[in-house]
Amino acid sequence: MGEAKNKARETVEEEPLSPCSRLFNSPDFNCAIIVTMGSRVKGDTPAIIHGLEHTLVNHPRFSSILEMNNGKKGKPRWVRTKVKVEEHVIVPDIDPDIENPDQYLEDYISKLTTIPMDLSKPLWEMHLLGLKTLNAESFAILKIHHSLGDGMSLMSLLLACTRKTSDPQALPTVAVQKKRFGPSCNSGFFNKIWWLFVGLWFILRLLFNTFVDILMFAFTIFFLRDTETPLLAKPGSELNPKRFIHRIISFDDVKLVKNAMKMTVNDVLLGVTQAGLSRYLSRRYDQEATPKSKESMRKIRLRSAIMINLRPNTGIEALADMMAKKSKCRWGNLFGYILLPFSVGLEADPLEYVRQAKATIDRKKNSLEAVFSMAFFKLILKVLGLKASVFLVRKVIHSTTLTFSNVVGPKEEITFHGHPLNYISPCVFGHPHALTLHFQSYANKVIISVTADPTVIPDPHKMCDDLVESLKIIKSAVLERGLYEIDV
Per-residue 3-state assignment (H helix, E strand, C coil) for 162-223: EEECCCCCCCCCECCCCCCCCCCCCCCHHHHHHHHHHHHHHHHHHHHHHHHHHHHHHHHHHC
410 three-class SS: strand
In Å, what is the CA distance from 172 to each residue of 44, 340, 456? 22, 31, 38
90 three-class SS: strand
b/e map of 269-280 (b: 16 or more CB within 10 Å)? bbbbbbbbbbbb
Whether 419 contacts 38, CB under 8 Å: no
Nearest 5 degrees, angle CA 259-CA 264-CA 270?
Answer: 115
- CA 457, CA 409: separation in Å to the nearest integer? 28
Provide the angle, in degrees to the nearest 10, between the axes of the packed helices 189-222 and 369-384.
40
Q: Is 417 a catalytic residue?
A: no
- Torsion region of 15: left, alpha or beta (phi above 0 gives left; psi -120 to 50 gives alpha): beta
Which of 146, 246, 398, 419 does the annotation list as catalytic? 146
Known catalytic residues are 146
